[in-house]
Structure 1
Amino acid sequence: MYYWADGSWMPLLATEWKTDQEAATLTVKLREGVKWSNGDDFTAEDVVVTFNCRRLAKGTVWRFLDKVEAVDDHTVVFSMSEPSIVVERYVIRNEYIVDRATYGEWSDKVQALLDEGKDMASDEWNALLQQFNEYRPEAINATGPYNVDPKSLNEARLTLVKNESSWLADTVKFDEVYIYNGETPTVTPLVLAMQVDYATHGFPPATEKAFVGEGVRILRPPIYSGPALYFNQTIYPFNVKEVRQALAYAIDRHENGTVSLGESGKAVVYMTGFSDNIVPLWVDDVDALDKYAYDTAKAEQILTGLGFTKGADGVWVTDKGDRMEYELTAPAEYADWSASAENVAEQLTAFGIPTSFRGVEFRQHPINVNQGNFQLAIRAWGSGNPHPHFSFVQDLYTHNGEAVTGAALAADPALGTQGPGMSFTLQQTTDCCGDFDFETNIDNMPQGLDTAAQKAMVAETAKAYNELLPQIPLWERYGNNPAMDGLHTCGWLPDDDPIYKNSPYADSFAVMMILDGTLYPCNQ
């Protein structure tokens, strides 16, 4: 796992690794003496099995890899199609290693298809993938310090029990960990009843105030992402960049973040599609970026310049004579996103663009957006990964599938079948950067090990995004995570400790403090 504050690593199953640019390889040394919970030794063959299964599932990492080989029991060589700085993250952090006893047969079947010259697009490959997706192992085999107690599984929670054979068994301090299921409305009463020690949900300001009133400590780590206002750009005038710019000026993002998540909803400043926390690391001339500070007069000036007018009822009318009146949707169960959507709807309505809010069941909402079944929607911008490439993938690929034609589509053909999404064309003409191909830049951004060259590509993409605003990033979410210091758990580090530069999701500081023994049980 990765320490965001200083760029160092907490080695787990991999103890050291090195990239050879000339050979285009990443060589990984594995921890010796590790046992699976079934008693088998952990070896390089398990890693090969894992990555063959990820290849079957068309995992993103295989956009960058040619093959994975076990050199000996504790050495694995990843051969890259070409060197890329993000391969380290994909290999060392993003993939969860599975065992050959459970998944070896699937790895063998993948290799057999490859030996026959079949690829990811073949019927045989997709048939095997369907079988794999339907596979349900009888038990989970683990190397980590905990395993799932299958008897504990229910709708409310599950129990992790210590895996006594784990190499971390003597380091972790808890014998059991309870994980509760449910969104914010379900978890809130559990926090107030002092039944949980830590939660990562987005709690409304009033709920957070109630927590503080009960003496609950609130942690505020950055999430490196947040909600954005998405446009269906098949609907005129959302396909006009000046209209999107005008709406960015018309929305008070500080108000929106505060209403939605209190101190933990921090208005986006740089409007680049990735976290303000890391923008200065990649863009030297941040002053050249338009910050779209709240300015309704500026918004009106832009719309008027396009030939838009306000009717007698105060509602904006496009140059084609159409009233600007829309519906905005968001996942109903996400308290912070729903509050954000309601506030955006209120602000746009006050500006002269009547906007109604409708909550959609949280599993259905991304499907609706991907199918283009929306006018305005709240979905995520950014990503909890240190390279901006990952954020731009979220911003411009995740809900924009039919616009993607290159390497991302080749690696995941399903991306092009889920629907048009926001229908933002990835080849654009810009004032800042001339004819600009987002897809080429995003796909090439992580290539090679030359950080300076990557920085230039990131900066250009940031400038183009800042000008075109494919979506409007509203605020960056910071945690408002209740941490019950001294309830059942002790050892939480001080608020100013650099561990809290880590997101509570990607490279979770709570998980890391459990794994290294910092957190320990008390008052039980």
Structure 2
Amino acid sequence: MPLLATKWSLNRKTNTFRVYLRKGVKWQDGKTFTAKDVVTTFYLGYLYNWAIWRYIDKVTAVDDYTVDFHMAVVCAPMVLERYVLRTQIRSDAVYGKYASQVIALLAQGKKSDSEEMKKLRAEFDQFRPEKMIGTGPFILDPKNITESEITLTRFDGYWDAEKIQFDKIKLYNGETPVVTPLVMAKEVDYATHGFPPATERQFIQMGIRIIRPPLYSGPAIRFNHNIYPFNLKEVRQAIAYAIKKEENAFVSLGDSAKRQIYMTGLSDNLVPQWLSEAVIKRLNKYDYNPDLAAKILTGLGFKKGADGIWVTDKGTKMEYELLVPAEFADWAAAAENAAEQLTKFGIKTTVRGITYAQHPTELNAGRFQMAIAGWGAAHPHAHFSYYTNLITYNYPSGLGPGMNFPLVQTTKSVGKVDLDKLITQSAEGYDLLQQKKVVEKLALAFNELLPIVPLWERYGNNPALDGVRVTNWPKDGDPIYRNSAYADSFVVIMILNGTLKPVTK
């Protein structure tokens, strides 16, 4: 669906990805959209260690409407396209002075980990633009923002305005507890929250349709690997065996949660596309087996105390806190159930809920013992899932120590591996078969090491109200619903292409 880019091409001789930009596009402050905005955006991304900079070394404005991305390391076309074409472009008029400083520092040989670049990033973190401007069909005006909602108003200068059927869109702030009564009052036309099974049944009884798109991801238990014994793979394996993941999935999200079968860090939907039958047969599914979990811990020299709580070989009780964003009803339910199962097994686990806005900050800072956080990614290329699993909330992100899982590991399945390099190599070059070999190595290593323990894969249980304010929702089975509810929202697509329409009064 071409938006700001009208076409693009890859020159394999020069390893250059060229993007041709749409002419006649205006920013909401009246300025013209040009290649400068694209260049600014990606150099700002360098400041924040965007993954695309593992492959490219230069972004150049060829002219006002043509941009070249030069690859120092050849990147798989479908990965490169995703990184380039799905990036939201920022205004050069607003952010250009910071991007110019990044370019100047790079010209001096300063890299992302240099003190100068860190200082610039700290300065940019404090920058607050006077206005939020975009090139899209709706304007975000601060005067239309309250603590509970935002009203987006139509931008008549939008380049494809004739397709847009709505004059305004209201977005409600809040997680599941806040949004549920709004859905039941039919004040909301569409929501993507994780609604508990009982709530979903109420929606259906009210005649509200439920759409179940795949997300290709879900919640996992993440560990602080600085804390003994979470740095032992055997302990993480024992935890995986001690949790009945089918139960955890069902109590959390009913029909919209499916336990992870292959435990590779990839969506089970993607496993057959990336792994050979021979590799799949080697995978440990970590089916519920508390006896085996106990045997593993005993083999480490751990013992169960008289109170039923496991004690490590160093004499410390296995008593931990499990951090979770309190407002995420499905993740909160998963945390409570996992804690209950682990406590029953003898790993005493207490759930601590914090606000979802603070949760990423705590994880990046490493201020947790165990935490519920996401695994996987809504893209068919495996590279994105392993980047999420192993880089996000880990020290290579540049945002803090995170879970501090070392990415150089020695395994029984594939020998010594540098997982960071493998993630880059998984999207390297033009040979898909070679990429699959790298992904197979990542999958086997992940399956053995379990740096995080995926609990289940989430599907949407998204209420879609038809006939009150919005209509023309496609029927179930329409290919558009194969898009992830978040990463490639089909609702956004259907607003932009004019599929969804207002109810005629």
Q: Answer whether TM exceeds 0.5 for this pair.
A: yes
Unaligned regions of 5+ residues in structure 2, if any? none
Tell me, yes or no, if structure 1 residue 392 matches structure 2 residue 392. no
- Hey, what does 2:464 align to over in structure 1? 483
Query: Residue 202 of structure 1 contacts residue 334 of structure 1 at CA under 8 Å; is this kept in 2?
Result: yes
2:496 — aligned with what? 515
Assess, with a 3 A threshold, how the Cα gap between structure 1 residues 49 and 321 changes in structure 2: closer, same or farther. closer
What's 1:409 paired with?
none
Amino acid at match of 1:158: I
Identify the residue that residue 199 of structure 1 maps to in structure 2.
191
Distance 1:76 1:351 in 2: 57
Q: CA deviation at 1:248?
A: 1.2
Counterpart of 2:487 (choices 506, 510, 520) is 506
Are the counterparts in 1 of residues 54 and 73 from structure 2 also a CA contact under 8 Å? no
* 2:377 is the counterpart of 1:383: yes
Give 1:91's match in structure 2, choosing from 84, 95, 98: 84
Counterpart mapping for 1:26-425 below 5 A: 26-85=17-76, 86-93=79-86, 95-115=87-107, 117-285=109-277, 286-401=280-395, 404=396, 414-415=398-399, 418-419=400-401, 421-425=402-406
Conserved? CA contact 1:225–1:476, under 8 Å: yes
Q: Which residue does the alignment assign to 1:5? A: none
Moved more, 332-341 or 67-76: 67-76
Unaligned runs of 5+ in 1: 1-9, 405-411
Question: Which deviates further from its counterpart, 464-473 or 229-238?
Answer: 229-238
CA drift at 1:90: 0.9
Shift of the alpha carbon at 1:114? 4.4
TM-score (norm. length: structure 1): 0.89
Preserved CA contact (<8 Å) 2:75 2:430: yes
1:500: Cα distance to partner?
1.3
1:384-431: per-residue Cα shift (whole Å, max 9, x none)?
A: 233222222222222221xx4xxxxxxx6x33xx23x33322222211
Q: 2:433 aligns with which of 452, 455, 461?
A: 452
Cα pair 2:219 2:454 within 8 Å, conserved: yes
Structure 2 residue matching 1:165: 3-state secondary structure: coil
Identity of aligned residues (%): 54
Distance 1:124 1:357 in 2: 40
Q: Is the 8 A contact 2:131 2:141 kept in 1?
A: no
CA distance 1:308–1:101, shift in 2 (3 Å):
closer
SS in 2 for 1:297: helix
Contact 1:25/1:83 (8 A) holds in 2? no
Task: Give the Cα–Cα distance (whole angstroms) in 2 for the partners of residues 101 and 429 of structure 1.
Answer: 49
Q: CA deviation at 1:192?
A: 1.1
2-structure distance, mates of 1:519, 1:463:
43
Greater Cα offset, 454-463 or 391-400: 391-400
- Does 2:15 match 1:21? no
SS at 2:337 equivalent: helix
Shift of 1:255: 0.6
The 10-residue stretch of structure 1 (439-448 or 463-472) with the greater mean CA deviation from structure 2: 439-448
Q: TM-score, normalised by structure 2?
A: 0.92
Shift of 1:109: 4.1
Aligned residues: 501
Deviation per CA, 1:86-117, whole angstroms, max 9, x where unpaired? 22211111x21233333344444444444555
Instruction: Single out whichever of 156-165 and 49-58 deviates more from structure 2.
Output: 49-58
Shift, 1:122, TM fit: 4.6
1:44 deviates by 2.3
Which sits farther off after the overlay, 33-42 or 269-278?
33-42
User: What is the CA distance between 1:468 and its match in structure 2?
Assistant: 1.3
